[in-house]
Structure 1
Amino acid sequence: MRSIFWGQIACFFICLYFTACKSSSEPKDKPATVGKKGGGKPAGGPLAVEAYIIKTSVLNQNIQVPGSLLAFDETEIHPEVAGKIVQMNIREGAMVSRGTVLVKLNDADLQAQLHQLNVQLLVAQKTLDRQNQLLKIGGISQQDYDVSLLQVSSVRASMQVLQVSIARMVVRAPFNGKIGFKNVSIGAYVSPATVITTIKDVNRLKLTFSVPEKYNSKVVNGNSVIFSVEGTPKKYAAKIIATESGITENNRSLKVMAVVETVDKYISPGSFANVIFDLGEDNQALMVPTQSIIPGARDKQIIVARQGVATFQKVTTGVRDSVNVQLTSGVAVGDTVITTGILQLKTGSKIIVKSIKK
Structure 2
Amino acid sequence: MGKVTKRVIAITIILLVFGALAYPKVKPLFSSPSGQNGENGMQQQRSADVLRAEAVVMETETIEDRIFSTGTLEANEIVDLTAEISGLVTGVYFEEGREVEQGDLLLKINDSELQAEKSRAQYRLNLAEQREERQTRLLERGGISQDEYDATLNEVNVLRSEIELIGARIDQTELKAPFSGKVGLKYISTGSYISPGTRIATLQEIDPIKIDFSIPERYLARVDVGDKIQFNVQGYDSTFAGEVYAIEPRINTETRTLQVRALSGNSGQLLFPGAFANIELILDEIDDAILIPSIALVPELNAQKVYLSRNGKVEEVRVRTGIRTSNRIQIIEGVSPGDTVLTTGILQARQGMDLELAEVRRGSEQ
Instruction: Give the TM-score taking structure 2 as reference length.
Output: 0.61
Query: 2:91·2:190 contact (CA, 8 Å) conserved in 1?
Result: yes
Q: Distance in 2 between matches of 1:357 and 1:284?
A: 22
Seen in structure 2, the aligned counterparts of structure 1 residues 199 and 356 have a Cα distance that, compared at 3 Å, is farther
Q: 1:84 corresponds to which residue?
A: 88
1:198 paired residue among 192, 202, 207: 202
Q: 1:253 corresponds to which residue?
A: 257
**CA apart distance, 1:264:** 2.7
1:223 paired residue among 216, 223, 227: 227
Query: 1:242·1:258 contact (CA, 8 Å) conserved in 2?
Result: yes
Instruction: Give the TM-score taking structure 1 as reference length.
Output: 0.63
Question: Between the two proteins, what is the percent identity of the paired residues?
Answer: 32
**CA apart distance, 1:356:** 9.8
**CA apart distance, 1:206:** 1.1
Q: Which amino acid aligns with 1:132?
A: T
**CA apart distance, 1:144:** 0.6
SS at match of 1:199: strand
Q: 1:40 corresponds to which residue?
A: none
1:188 paired residue among 178, 181, 192: 192
Q: Distance in 1 between matches of 2:133 and 2:126?
A: 11
**CA apart distance, 1:263:** 3.9
Q: Distance in 2 between matches of 1:135 and 1:114?
A: 31
Q: 1:157 corresponds to which residue?
A: 161
SS at match of 2:90: strand
SS at match of 1:201: strand
Q: 1:175 corresponds to which residue?
A: 179
Q: Which amino acid aligns with 1:270?
A: G
Query: 1:228·1:236 contact (CA, 8 Å) conserved in 2?
Result: yes
Q: Distance in 2 between matches of 1:262 and 1:107?
A: 39
Matched length = 252
**CA apart distance, 1:224:** 1.1
Q: Which amino acid aligns with 2:121?
A: L
Q: 2:122 corresponds to which residue?
A: 118
Query: 1:243·1:256 contact (CA, 8 Å) conserved in 2?
Result: yes
Q: Which amino acid aligns with 1:233?
A: D
What pairs with 1:40-79 in structure 2 (closer than 5 Å)? 61-79=65-83
Q: Distance in 1 between matches of 2:276 and 2:240?
A: 13
**CA apart distance, 1:90:** 2.3
**CA apart distance, 1:63:** 1.7
SS at match of 1:203: strand
Query: 2:184·2:201 contact (CA, 8 Å) conserved in 1?
Result: yes
Matched, 1:138 2:142: yes
SS at match of 2:260: strand
Seen in structure 2, the aligned counterparts of structure 1 residues 153 and 322 have a Cα distance that, compared at 3 Å, is same
Q: Distance in 2 between matches of 1:122 and 1:60?
A: 74
Matched, 1:109 2:106: no
Query: 2:206·2:266 contact (CA, 8 Å) conserved in 1?
Result: no
Q: Distance in 1 between matches of 2:348 and 2:267?
A: 50
Seen in structure 2, the aligned counterparts of structure 1 residues 183 and 357 have a Cα distance that, compared at 3 Å, is farther
Q: Which amino acid aligns with 1:165?
A: R
Could you list the per-position Cα deviations for residues 336-358 of structure 1 after superposition, in whole angstroms to 9, with x for gaps in the alignment?
Answer: xxxxxxxxxxxxxxxxxxx7999
Could you list the per-position Cα deviations for residues 282-333 of structure 1 after superposition, in whole angstroms to 9, with x for gaps in the alignment?
Answer: 8799xx99xxxxxxxxxxxxx969xxxxxxxxxxxx987658999xxxxxx9
Gaps of 5+ in 2: 1-60, 303-321, 335-346, 351-366
Q: Which amino acid aligns with 2:71?
A: G
Q: Distance in 2 between matches of 1:63 and 1:201?
A: 29
**CA apart distance, 1:222:** 1.4
Q: 1:95 corresponds to which residue?
A: 99
- RMSD value, Cα: 3.3
Q: 2:40 corresponds to which residue?
A: none
Query: 1:179·1:197 contact (CA, 8 Å) conserved in 2?
Result: yes
Q: Distance in 2 between matches of 1:67 and 1:100?
A: 33
Query: 1:101·1:171 contact (CA, 8 Å) conserved in 2?
Result: yes
Seen in structure 2, the aligned counterparts of structure 1 residues 184 and 262 have a Cα distance that, compared at 3 Å, is closer
Seen in structure 2, the aligned counterparts of structure 1 residues 224 and 165 have a Cα distance that, compared at 3 Å, is same
SS at match of 2:220: helix
Q: Which amino acid aligns with 1:125?
A: E
Seen in structure 2, the aligned counterparts of structure 1 residues 181 and 230 have a Cα distance that, compared at 3 Å, is same
Q: Distance in 2 between matches of 1:218 and 1:165?
A: 53
Q: Distance in 2 between matches of 1:129 and 1:279?
A: 74
Q: Distance in 2 between matches of 1:149 and 1:185?
A: 46
Seen in structure 2, the aligned counterparts of structure 1 residues 215 and 263 have a Cα distance that, compared at 3 Å, is farther
Q: 1:242 corresponds to which residue?
A: 246
2:212 paired residue among 208, 227, 251: 208
Gaps of 5+ in 1: 1-57, 290-302, 306-317, 327-332, 334-354
Q: Which amino acid aligns with 1:86?
A: T
**CA apart distance, 1:203:** 2.4
